[in-house]
Amino acid sequence: MADFDLFVIGGGSGGVRAARVASSHGARVAVAEEHKVGGTCVIRGCVPKKLLVYGAHFAEDLDDAAMFGWDVPQKRFDWAVLRDNVLAEVGRLEGAYTETLTNHDVTIFKERATLAGPNAIQLASGKTVTADKILIATGARPLMPELPGIEHAISSNETFHLDELPKRIVIAGGGYIANEFAGIFHQFGSHVTLVNRTDVLLRGYDQQIVDRLIQISIRKGIDYKFHATIEAIERGDDGKLHVRMTGCDDIEADQVLFAVGRQPNTEGLGCDAAGVKVGEKGEIEVDDENRTNVPSIFAVGDVTNRVQLTPIAIREGQAFSDSFFGNKPHKVDYNCIPSAVFSHPPLAGVGMTEGEARNRLGTVKTFTSDFRPMKNVLAGRNERSLYKLVLDGETDKVVGVHMIGPDAPEILQAAAIAVKAGLKKSDFDATVALHPTMSEELVLMR
């Protein structure tokens, strides 16, 4: 008899959910985690990042306060206080996640685990354990390109541990991580240069909304270098970095952050030993039941490189354990996934962008509301928000909602329910506006 019914490699969002649910269905479960229980999202991703975003918002809020009658005598930011408070919260969460597993009688191995066969796992301590089913949930890590001087650069992982804020930072990348950290560092007073090899930022988001973010960011003083790439990084005797560029002039900086994508964690995992098929980007290939080509081995989350979002990893982990241990087979629905970019201001979207709708549907209608939020008006801030509805022209069904502006992600979650439910523009129109709010613009577009 195997040591465990289920052995999970990786204690992140997907692995923890799968372990907890399988155990509640009566399975004997173990989890191996070589770093900290909680994974990327909780330890070095969305959670600490969002706390930095909150911290960064105060820069503008304190400026705006004066127009609302508040006297803020002196504005001074202490990076070390925020950094240490965020790391303390991450530590608390790690404890909470560990407790969740132990409360559900899950055995935790705080060490690296690799595949030794279809039903065997080798632990770093030298022990081999067996399991009826193995779930790989090892996630992904920031991709660091091979170029001279890359050892002088950091990834998003290191941003949470910086000794001091850089006066000048170069951020390479065009995705959500690059744009979020551009906003964070800018608000903290760093001079930010964002370098991207194309002129497209935030591919997959509605480009009209993205264009608005770029306009606002340029006005704030973020520097963009499009069609540019970093060739090499050299550290001078004074400790400053010289960034050699192609496509623009070289840049002098104190810090270089690469946010050019993420790579599934499959190296040295023993996929060969177990006969598990891996794709060209290192991702583990699975079917719609999360099963690999080896019948006893499964995978969920970012290591499968399907949709790299925490709530998806959690749903995949839930579906896996319900299906194979709870006698409740179900699959994850990947249609209509809401997502957000916690930039300054943030943007969010669900469903089809206007571009996707024009490619996929016969006729398309769009409605937009371009407005200056009430708070910005009194604060004397020129920043405008943009909300957009994308409709199927045949049915008037709302197939996409996209927005940029304060609290856009908070507002979009509710709007996503309407899009997922297949509601029509007439349903939006029939809803009475909640006044005075920004979100009322969603039901007032005519």
The residues assigned a catalytic role are: 435
CB 207 within 8 A of CB 400: no
Instruction: Write out the DSSP string of 94-137.
Output: HHHHHHHHHHTT-EEE-S-EEEEETTEEEETTS-EEEEEEEEE-
| Type of residue at 410 | E
Please state, in angstroms and rounded to a whole number, the distance separating the CA atoms of residues 115 and 296: 12
DSSP 336: S
What's the CA gap between 423 and 439, in Å, rounded?
17
Strand 191-196 relative to strand 223-226, pairing:
parallel
d(CA 221, CA 216): 9
DSSP 206-234: -HHHHHHHHHHHHHHT-EEEES-EEEEEE
CB of 29 within 8 A of CB of 23?
A: yes
Sign of the Cα torsion 314, 315, 321, 322 reads positive
Q: Classify the C-alpha dihedral 311-316-317-323 as positive or negative.
A: positive
d(CA 353, CA 208): 9
